[in-house]
Structure 1
Amino acid sequence: MVDTPVLKMTAIRKSFGDVPALTDAALTIRPGEVHALIGQNGAGKSTMIKILNGAYRKDAGEIELDGQAVRFSSPHEAQLGGISTIFQEVNLVHYRSVTENIVLGQEPKKFGMIDWPKAHRRAEEVLQRFGLNLDVRQPLHHCNIAVQQLIAIARAVSFDARLVIMDEPTSSLDSQEKQVLFRVIRDLSAQGVAVLYVSHHLEELFEVCDRVTVMRNGSMIATHEMSDVTKLGLVSEMIGRDANQIAESGATGFGKTHAGSQTVVLELQNLSNGTNVKDASLIVHQGEIVGLAGLLGAGRTETVAMIFCADHPAGGNMAFKEHRSFFREPAEAINAGIGYCTEDRKAEGIIPGLSIRENLTLAMIPRLAKRGVIPRMAEREMVADFIDKLSVKCAGMDQPIRELSGGNQQKVLLARWMATQPDLLILDEPTRGIDVGAKREIQTLIEGLSAAGLSVLMISSEFEELVEGANRVVVLQEGKAITTLTGGDLNEDSLLAAVAGEAEGAAL
């Protein structure tokens, strides 16, 4: 007897205005199955998920949960119906405590009031499943983004769900944290809970998933058993190109076609913030891509934040071109020629309620405005030019940026800083949560900007990206720059050894 599918979606259609997002899309998930859903940014994955959890209303099609037709009108209703969703961008209440975030909507009560001791115990028990031992009474924003993501996952799996949707759940996790997540996923599967796993990291699928469905242009291309496919075959189906052509063109868009000049654009000496950055020193030359590597907590993001004056240093020295001191505020850094794409695209990058045009020109407003008025024709011409150059997939420049895929949102953020014509572009995880095709486009764009003379300081948790894309990589460990890898010494094995603290010091 064949088990009734936990989920069956058939002939799903959805359009935004005149732009079709889904066309007769379909998906079937078995009980206890870990099912991967993959595709390029804009393929329709997020739309599919939002229709399933009630965030969007479908135009046509049927959804069955455990053989029963369902139509959820909100994510909360879907949660009550047995579907729990973990979004790529942490979707919690940052100024509430860890406990409040975990028990929200299912608070234990005593005499009609919230039983806080019991709530704290429940939160601690949920987090222990993920190996997290922390003060659950502290505000969520005191935790770094990786811990926040684990808390969001812990909250989702704490519900009595039949299906758990995980959208890029490892985007901020290190290798050890990923293994903890995979163990929890296997536990859920053993209990008969199905998992819909959305990820751009294809190697993860072969480690944890049973089957995979490939989407392209709003339709389902194929569904496979994981044992029957290869990574190259999946990429071929995702982007609609022959596998041999993809193999010949390489996996990434980076090529390191130039080495930069000898002109120093940025120099840091013994930079510290008084907490987790203790002695960060590095040099970036004109037209050079310098990578910044290290484990979570090594101080990478805190270091670049001080360069941009998004955080204030406690010690050390900085020289940027002719400017021989730290900036007093981000506006001064922008005017001097620095652009900064932050790690958290949703919280610190885009403004969801504004249009593509408004988000793209945000850093340019002081330069565009004439007597307090922005010349609309010039603004629209500039935005249209960047949309064309960067191949941003959108319905038009006045479309809300929140409706774009992650890859296209990232292109808009890159365009925001390109428009300011900076001398140094700081990129914190520029390809996090982005599919293979969009990732290659962004990497090629970064290489092209560097070849044209722009200096790039790039943080990435992907060693392959740093090895293939950077001229040099500075390794941070516990807030200290311990070594710099370049030339023949810059390979994945030596980088792994350096990050793990097994490499000998080298000139920065």
Structure 2
Amino acid sequence: MPTRAPAPIVELTGIRVEFSDVVALDDIDFRLFPGEVHALMGENGAGKSTLIGVLTGTRTPVAGTVVVAGEERRFSGVADARAAGIATVFQETQLGPTLSVAENVMLGRERRGRFGIDWKRTRADAADALSRLGLDDMDPRTPMTMLSPAQKQLVALARSMVDDPRILVLDEPTSSLDRPEVDLLMRVIRGLRDRGVAILFVSHFLEQAFAISDRMTVLRGGRRIAETPTRELERADLISQMLGKDLEALRALGSERKAHHYAADGEPALRATGVGRRGELDPTDIDVYRGEIVGLAGLRGSGRTELASLLGGSLRADSGQLKVDGERVQLRSPSAALKSRIAMSVENRRADGIIADLTARENIVLSLQALRGWTRPLSPSEIAALADTYVETLHLDPADLGRPAGHLSGGTQQKLLLARALATRPHVLILDEPTRGIDIAAKLDIQRRVSQLAGDGVGVVFISSELEEVVRLSDRIVVIKDRDKIGELSNGPAVTVDSVVELIAAELDPLDD
């Protein structure tokens, strides 16, 4: 007798969501089964966040049905979704930084006694929640300030599991993690799946989605394009479904950069000799020539961002010297770097980059206005002309220019930061994670533009956690490990991601200089 297929624990049928006159989701069908990891894939703006909102009670569809465990539901808020057994862990972990692990895990669910919170029982419940995730070695009394990003993500996951949800939504859970930390989180996710939890996994990291998921659903432009068992889906087909076009542009860009042989000529645009900062980066030498892309490769925390910040003026060096076009300079601030024609786009676009309440157009001109001086404001026509320039070169939507930057997609925000840096016409451009957490199309636009900038004579320092991207774009790759420069590779056909990984993983001989 054939085995009956399990019923989906979540079934969405004909879901339509509208924002004013914009259709965000159009006739979406979606299924999630117990004991599976289902990856939701698509570009920024494809409808992923809106679909998550429907599941978690923050978005109300104008048409369609939501069925959970065989019962039709209408969620009026997050509490309704939680009561139906749906828990969510978002990209930005919403934890109390001054609280302990136990206080965060049990927030709002503390055990109470005659005299208020019973901390002994509360900590015991937190320890039980951590233990169910295989985190027995995490002390519930540990302050959050002592935890790594991965550990904080696991605390957020433990908090979501306190009520034993049947459905877990993970929204970009690995965006700020290094590879070993990702491996730890993946082990925990697999353990939850094996216990029968239905997991919706949303990520821009394609390899992670392929590694962890059982099925994939692709959204594009608010419509469902495909639902496919992961084992039956080729990577090229997935990206083509997400983009609605083939990958020839990406392949051509990689071939172009790999075939490019840069020959250093004359003085470097930027030369750092013994530049370091106590406790953050050992004294380091690096040259950046006009017209080349220098990739910085290393694990998160290796010192790559600190090196970029020292070169870009947002950190002050306490050793070594910097020269720009052969002239010694002291970069005590980003504005001093701008005056030396060095511009930087920072890693954390939300906290340190974008001014959320200003329009996209106003964000683009910030650095140029600072360089020019606030007593000589740019005219409205100058601002408009400058912004219009980047509509074409970075494929920005003209309708976005007048909107608050905080309301725009991650990919658009990243393009605004790049446009802001380019508006100063830099000789050296430092890009720290310019494509992190953005969709494939925006990533390709930025990679193309970076390659064009090098062709136009700009020296580029490029940081990415995706080593494939570093290898694809760079002329030289500087490898950073444990706050120290440990090697440098000239890129070419023989250099692969494995070449970089082997260098990072190699144990240095203590006699090596």
Fold conserved between structures, TM > 0.5: yes
- Preserved CA contact (<8 Å) 1:252 1:439: no
Q: Does 1:23 align with 2:23?
A: no
Distance 1:42 1:172, change over 3 A: same
Larger deviation, residues 447-456 vs 253-262: 253-262
Larger radius of gyration: 2
Separation in structure 2 between the aligned mates of residue 203 and residue 409 of structure 1, nearest angstrom: 24
For 1:70-469, what aligned pairs fall within 5 Å after superposition? 70-111=73-114, 113-116=116-119, 119=122, 129=134, 133=138, 137-140=142-145, 143=147, 145-242=149-246, 249=252, 257=260, 259=262, 261-262=264-265, 263-321=267-325, 324-366=328-370, 371=375, 374-393=378-397, 395-469=399-473
8 Å contact from structure 1 (residues 90, 148) kept in 2: yes
**CA displacement at 1:211 relative to structure 2:** 0.8
Q: Secondary structure at the match of 1:264?
A: coil
Deviates more, 1:472-481 or 1:424-433: 424-433
Distance in 2 separating the partners of 1:464 and 1:180: 22
Give the CA deviation at 1:13.
2.2
- The match for 1:485 is 489
CA distance in 2 between counterparts of 1:281 and 1:118 reads: 54
The one-letter code matched in structure 2 to 1:270 is: G
State the shift of 1:424 in Å.
Answer: 1.7
Query: What is the CA-CA distance between 1:339 and the residue it aligns to?
Result: 2.1
Shift of 1:177: 1.9
**Other structure's SS at 1:482 match:** strand
Q: Partner of 2:70 in structure 1? A: 67
Give SS of 1:333's match.
helix
TM-score normalised by structure 2 residue count: 0.88
Please tell me the residue identity of whatever aligns with 2:57: G
Structure 1, residues 105-147: CA drift from partner, whole Å, max 9, x if none? 333434353444555565566567358757954354x655455
Compared with structure 1, are the counterparts of its residues 13 and 317 closer, same or farther at alpha carbon in structure 2 (3 Å cutoff)? same
| 1:443 alignment partner AA | Q
Out of 218-227 and 274-283, give the one that drifted further.
274-283
Q: Residue by residue, what CA displacement relative to the aligned partner does 1:360-400 show, whole Å, maximum 9, x if unpaired? A: 23323335777465522322332233123211247431223
Do 2:126 and 2:140's aligned partners in 1 also have CA atoms closer than 8 Å?
A: no
What do residues 62-120 of structure 1 show as CA deviations (whole Å, max 9, x unaligned)? 22222223333444553344222222334434455554433333334343534445555
Question: Contact conserved, 1:272 with 1:313, CA < 8 A, in 2?
Answer: yes
Aligned residues of 1:394 and 1:404 also touching (Cα < 8 A): no
Distance in structure 2 (CA, Å) of the matches to 1:182 and 1:33: 13
Gaps of 5+ in 2: none
Give, in whole Å, the separation in 2 of the partners of 1:207 and 1:493. 18
Residue range with higher mean Cα deviation, 294-303 or 389-398? 389-398
TM-score, normalised relative to structure 1: 0.88
What is the Cα deviation at residue 218 of structure 1? 0.8
Does residue 13 of the first structure (1) align with residue 21 of the second (2)?
no
Letter in 1 for 2:244: G
The CA distance in 2 between the partners of 1:252 and 1:166, in whole Å, is 35
Secondary structure (helix, strand or coil) at the match of 1:279 reads strand
Alpha-carbon shift at residue 264 of structure 1 (Å): 0.7
Task: Give the percent of matched residue pairs that are identical in Structure 1 and Structure 2.
Answer: 37
- How far residue 33 of structure 1 moved from its aligned partner, in angstroms, is 1.5
CA displacement 1:208-230 (0-9 Å, x = unmatched):
21111111111001111112221
Tell me, in whole angstroms, the C-alpha distance in 1 between the residues paired with 2:51 and 2:114: 42
Give the C-alpha shift of residue 246 in structure 1.
7.1
The answer (yes or no) to whether the contact 2:43–2:242 under 8 Å persists in 1 is yes
Structure 1 residues 408 and 276, CA gap change in structure 2 (3 angstroms)? same
Measured against aligned partners, the alpha-carbon deviations of 1:412-468 in whole angstroms (never above 9, x if no partner) come to 221121112222221112222223322222111110111111111111222221222
Instruction: Decide which of 48, 55, 62 is 1:45's aligned counterpart.
Output: 48
Deviation digits for residues 249-307 of structure 1 (CA, Å, limit 9, x no counterpart): 57798556462642312222233322142232211111211111112321111222222
What is the alpha-carbon distance in structure 1 between the residues aligned to residue 99 and residue 332 of structure 2?
31
Instruction: Letter of the 2:500 partner, please give it.
Output: L
| 4+ aligned runs moved over 6 Å, structure 1 | 250-253
